[in-house]
Amino acid sequence: MTSNKKLLILPGDGIGPEVMRQVRRVIDWFDQRRAVSFDLSEGLVGGAAIDAQGVPLTDETMAQAMAVDAVLLGAVGGPKWDALPFERKPERGLLRLRKEMDLFANLRPALVFDALADASSLKTDLVRGLDMMIVRELTGGVYFGSPRGIETLPDGTRRGINTQVYTSPEIQRVARVAFDLARLRRKQVCSVEKANVMESGILWREEVQAVHDADYADIQLSHMYADNCAMQLVRQPKQFDVIVTDNLFGDLLSDCAAMLTGSLGMLPSASLGAADASGRRRALYEPVHGTAPDIAGKDMANPLATLLSFAMLLRYSLNLGDDADLIERAVQKVLAGGLRTADIVTPGATKVSTSGMGDAILGELDKLAA
């Protein structure tokens, strides 16, 4: 019996609250019907926090995020707050969470549900059954390295500088996340860099190999250059199980892999931090999409990206793989039954609202658990 898992829910702005409302219904279902029970708290982040509390994330909410087993977030931002100075913008709330929770590993699955295989821009047989995961290093590399800046040389020429830099512990810890994930999946990791032209890539390759040889001999490890990986993702994406890569290459490759699945409204993500002495990792789960101001408040948004983020939370923070499977099977069944929100509707399918999709998922969960 697992019990009283502490979750902090931060719905945020725009469609965040309306998609989260449907996910709350599913969380309540698990609370009542399965062995797990939750100790839920809800807080404000982003524009909603600015309006009510004057800042995009209060110290109290930050402290709660540090204390819980996992945080589930909707999305932040919107036109209402666009004119605010950079340090007071809604996004600062999210950046503060990522920074203070030290979320160094970003997990982006690319999972193609059979019923949506047609939505991909690739041929259906290339993506049908696709189930891969990109682990992107999130707190190091060229986006943070110094020196950085734009300088003017004595002859008036301007020079822009960024520095790609990684230390061995930074590489080792994200490699461990990838190997641990692979153990829950098909036991294959492909490590991606540009060791042919970058010293940081050589170090990346050596460190990942060393972690593998020391502790993960049961995992099949391969290495690939990032340009080849981009090509392979659109040529033969099903060859991959887990890809681990740095911040810059991960940024590009995870967006490319995401689009293999066809729809923003279906894409979950997780960001993991270091494990504490008891083995508990700080973790934040959120959909890849933003606040979709164009459809906010219209009961049109697809709640499945946030729901699938909750499934990731069950699997990776609470070790409840069977419960996560249940959600993924319910999503599969609902889509196979032809129900779609507007973003993924196809000819012949039945269009449902955000709450209609919530009803359908709960109905499937009842059937699957019966």
Tell me which amino acid residue 251 is. Answer: D
Which C-beta is closer to ligand NAD: that of 17 or that of 265?
A: 265
Q: Cβ of 51: how many Cβ atoms within 10 Å? A: 13
155 assigned to active site: no
| 23 alpha-carbon distance from chain centroid | 16
294: CB partners within 8 A, 6+ apart: none
- The 126-155 site mask, x for binding ligand NAD (CB under 6 A), equals ------------------------------
Which C-beta is closer to ligand NAD: that of 202 or that of 345?
A: 345
Site for ligand NAD in 241-270 (CB under 6 A): 264-265
Q: Answer for the pair 239, 232: CB distance below 8 angstroms, yes or no.
A: yes
Shortest distance (Å) from residue 16 CB to ligand NAD: 8
Structure tokens at 255: 């967006």
Backbone region of residue 106 per phi and psi (left: phi > 0; alpha: psi in -120 to 50; beta: other values): beta
Contact between 18 and ligand NAD by CB under 6 A: the answer reads no
Closest CA to 40 of 23, 55, 59: 23
225 assigned to active site: no
**Residue-wise DSSP of 141-187:** GGGT-SS-EEEE-TTS-EEEE------HHHHHHHHHHHHHHHHTTTS
Catalytic residue among 80, 131, 143, 299: 143
Q: Which of 122, 132, 295, 311 binds ligand NAD (CB under 6 A)?
A: 295
Distance CA 196, CA 188 (A): 23
Catalytic residue among 31, 215, 251, 359: 251
80 assigned to active site: no
Q: Answer for the pair 19, 306: CB distance below 8 angstroms, yes or no.
A: yes
Contact between 293 and ligand NAD by CB under 6 A: the answer reads yes
Q: Which of 108, 176, 289, 315 binds ligand NAD (CB under 6 A)?
A: 289
Q: Answer for the pair 321, 266: CB distance below 8 angstroms, yes or no.
A: no
Which C-beta is closer to ligand NAD: that of 89 or that of 194?
A: 89
Q: Answer for the pair 254, 106: CB distance below 8 angstroms, yes or no.
A: yes
Beta bridge partner(s), residue 150: 160
Site for ligand NAD in 192-231 (CB under 6 A): none
- For ligand NAD, which residue has the nearest CB? 290
Stretch that binds ligand NAD, among 53-61, 124-132, 284-292, 324-332 (CB under 6 A): 284-292
Contact between 75 and ligand NAD by CB under 6 A: the answer reads yes
Q: Cβ of 199: how many Cβ atoms within 10 Å? A: 11
227 assigned to active site: yes
Site for ligand NAD in 328-347 (CB under 6 A): 343
Contact between 291 and ligand NAD by CB under 6 A: the answer reads yes
Catalytic residue among 5, 89, 194, 333: 194
Between the alpha carbon of residue 252 and those of residues 34, 108, 193, 230, 350, the distances in Å are: 38, 12, 12, 9, 34
Q: Answer for the pair 46, 290: CB distance below 8 angstroms, yes or no.
A: no
Shortest distance (Å) from residue 299 CB to ligand NAD: 11
Distance CA 173, CA 182 (A): 14
Which C-beta is closer to ligand NAD: that of 139 or that of 302?
A: 302
Which C-beta is closer to ligand NAD: that of 83 or that of 277?
A: 83
Catalytic residue among 213, 255, 322, 366: 255
Stretch that binds ligand NAD, among 185-193, 272-280, 285-293, 313-321 (CB under 6 A): 285-293
Q: Which residues would be at the binding site for ligand NAD (CB under 6 A)?
A: 15, 75-78, 94, 264-265, 286, 289-295, 301-302, 305, 343
Residues annotated as part of the active site:
143, 194, 227, 251, 255
